[in-house]
Structure 1
Amino acid sequence: MDLPLGILIGIIFGLVILSAFFSGSETSLTAASKARMHALKKSGNKEASNYEKIFNDKERLICTILLANNLVNILASSIATTILLKFFDTDGIAYTTIIMTFMILLFGELLPKTIALSNADKIALKISGFFKVLMFIFFPITGFLNSIVGFIIKNTRINSRDIDSTGIDENEQELRGAIDLHGDESNKNNEKEMLKSILDLEEVTVDSIMIPRKNTFSLPFNIKYAELLDKLRNSPHTRIPIWKGNPENIIGVFHIRKLLGDRFKSDSEFNLPDYMQKPWFIPESTTLASQLMEFKKRKEHFSIVVDEYGEFLGIVTLEDILEEIVGDIDDELDDKKANIVGVKQEKENVFLIKGTVSIRDLNRELGWKLPDKNFSTVAGLILYESRSIPKIGQIFSFYNFNFEILDKRYNQILLLKITQK
């Protein structure tokens, strides 16, 4: 029995509303903040818990939404075709195509998706329970369809390795993108750089930030008590490497604080080993993230960096790693005249920089983007890029900078003038 025209038109509008619901649902469920949903779930929100359950089965969720949406669209178009064929004969097919395409595109796609985008979290929470039930009802069909899709992907060259060839962890990529997205405001720049620095800890090794052996303050094991006190008066350090025989043979670490309050009249009364602890040697390939965890685990702040042959390369402290996150940490003994020790601005875009200055420090403090993959200092950059031992007065141009050698000793670059073009 034919239904009245008014009822059929009402059914069509009802189906278009359902189409709008499914289209908007797809947008809100995929655009909702995963971090916020996870936090709400942790706080005991049942709707957020439902959301996580259905979103963890993304393929089935999308398949369910598309299946339901296509069913209502096809049904609406079929009813519209039946009506218009009665009035316009075969021309009704063309009219149906035009009318239904317009209605579905505007009211079933564009409008609901736009609304869903602006209220994604709120809508996703409200509809997650409904889709949990709908996914269960449609499971036989969606399971069959997903198995076909999986078979096609498995037996063709369409796979995740071909699609994502960046080699970058997807979660880390998403997190970095979120940091950049929400850190565009000027007052958020410091927080943004700190968060990105934390992510970099897994990629940066200790040899990139260590104080090189040549710049390390150390003392001989056979030092006299009076001489030791004299050295300590001019030292800003609380932990000092102790060597025996030659400066590369580190046998312990001297703790100044252990000496506080003790007074000795002669060298015979003073026993240096009483104020030393065993040196903690770490390989140069250790990542900053791993070393930070080890500092916390061992409750120590000081380590000796060695290469694969056990040769002393430098030292790394807890403060060095923290400075990678928050920038330079000044104390009462630090130089207040410059943000980076060894850097002096001569005029706009012109800097006098010591060869031992870390490229990472320059990039962070001055906003530069010099590479530091194969070297860690400015001098290392010059040697690597020039493939030569430069002479005083030589000028090199790399990465939109001019590097002029101002001073050197033997093969070591001591001072440069760097001009940003």
Structure 2
Amino acid sequence: MEPNVYILILLIIIILVGSACCSGVEAAFLAVNSIRILELASKQKPKSSANQLLKLRKHLGRTLTVITITNNGFNIIGSLLLGVYGALIIKSSLGLTLFSIAFYVLVVLLGEVLPKALGTRFSLQIAMFSVPILRMLNSLMRPFLLLIEQLFPVITAENEISTDEAEIRQMAKIGSQKGFIEADEAEMILKVFQLNDLKAKDLMIPRVSAPSLDGSSNLDEISKLIISNNSPWWVVLGDKVDKIQGIAKRENLLTSLIKGENKKLISELCDPVDYIPEMIKVDKLLTRFDKDHKGVKVVVDEFGGFVGIIGSEAVLSVLAGWWKE
């Protein structure tokens, strides 16, 4: 085989490999999961490959421009050189035509189709591996890129990583169907979003059904009631409409009863009230509960009138799937 033929074969290999690498990296950058990159970057040092990949992915327009320029360099300039050199070696017009067709098939299959399939399949690994080369090409092409970005400002747009409720819902369903997360975990995720659609008035115990005590009564007078009734807490009412003196926990009342504090007024044994508006969203309400009596909230209307009570268990019942509309 003549030396010229070796050069021709080497030129074909360079063009195919260069085109394949560019096509594979382009597919990888378009297919790679941004959330996965962000997760890896958060666990590594600022100058790690994952963080550098995150920066390249953030400026996706610029990164794809670098890949496109490089890819066209191999495909266009390489093909022109190959055509000229092939014409010098292959004297027959029929042979040159067959050579051109064969090279076209090789470029399509080995330079585009197969690399893009692999780039999509192994997107994260290929994208991570290509980071140093892309950074170098980015630096070398910097003046040309600045010129292109002046002509086409859309390239400079940052590709922010974001999602919304609909996407998270869909991802939870897909994750459950594929077996990546448990079915009950997916259900819990969906129910968390339901909290934003509910208000305190939807879950509260109405005023007429709320357990209540007269604040002017002493412990001895209501002892039978608190022993026989299992309500964990009581609203302590005053002598006026909507006058609430506090919240009494059954546990505290029973403790005082055992200690012999029978003559103490209920108003002396109750804790301060935590008021919430009836229109508050349940997801915001959840953050206001704590471990003491404030796990019970008194719900008021727009005029400050007592309309009901709500406990943390009402919110948890939504998450657990017990609550029904």
Q: TM-score, normalised by structure 1?
A: 0.64
1:208 and 2:210 matched:
no
Contact 1:81 1:93 (C-alpha < 8 Å) held by counterparts: no
Q: Which of 285, 303, 313 matches 2:307?
A: 313
Alignment partner, residue 21 of structure 1: 21
Alignment partner, residue 56 of structure 1: 58
Aligned partner of 1:244: which letter? Answer: G
Higher fraction of helix: 2
Q: How does 1:37-116 map to 2 (within 5 A)?
A: 37-44=37-44, 46-83=48-85, 87=91, 96=100, 98-116=101-119
Deviations 1:246-296 (A, max 9, x none): 6744332112222233237686x2221222122111122322232222225
Alignment partner, residue 320 of structure 2: 326
Alignment partner, residue 272 of structure 1: 266
Secondary structure of 1:251's partner? strand
Contact 2:206 2:307 (C-alpha < 8 Å) held by counterparts: yes
Q: Which of 221, 231, 234 matches 2:225?
A: 231
Give 5+ residue unaligned stretches, structure 2. none
Alignment partner, residue 163 of structure 2: 170
Secondary structure of 2:279's partner? coil
Aligned partner of 1:289: which letter? Answer: D
Higher fraction of strand: 1
Contact 2:276 2:297 (C-alpha < 8 Å) held by counterparts: yes
Deviation at 1:95, TM superposition (A): 7.3
Contact 1:15 1:73 (C-alpha < 8 Å) held by counterparts: yes
Q: Greater CA radius of gyration, 1 or 2?
A: 2
Aligned partner of 2:33: which letter? Answer: S
Residues 143 and 321 of structure 1: CA distance in aligned 2, closer, same or farther (over 3 Å): farther
Contact 2:218 2:265 (C-alpha < 8 Å) held by counterparts: no
Q: Which of 134, 142, 145 matches 1:142?
A: 145
RMSD of aligned C-alpha atoms? 3.5
Question: 1: distance between equivalents of 2:309 and 2:72?
Answer: 65
Contact 1:12 1:79 (C-alpha < 8 Å) held by counterparts: no
Deviations 1:288-344 (A, max 9, x none): 23222222599931212222222333222222223322334xxxxxxxxxxxxxxxx
Q: TM-score, normalised by structure 2?
A: 0.80
Question: 2: distance between equivalents of 1:251 and 1:134?
Answer: 73
Residues 12 and 204 of structure 1: CA distance in aligned 2, closer, same or farther (over 3 Å): farther
Alignment partner, residue 261 of structure 1: 255
Aligned partner of 1:285: which letter? Answer: M
Give 5+ residue unaligned stretches, structure 1. 155-159, 161-168, 329-360, 363-376, 378-421
Alignment partner, residue 136 of structure 2: 133
Question: 2: distance between equivalents of 1:305 and 1:25?
Answer: 58
Residues 261 and 244 of structure 1: CA distance in aligned 2, closer, same or farther (over 3 Å): closer
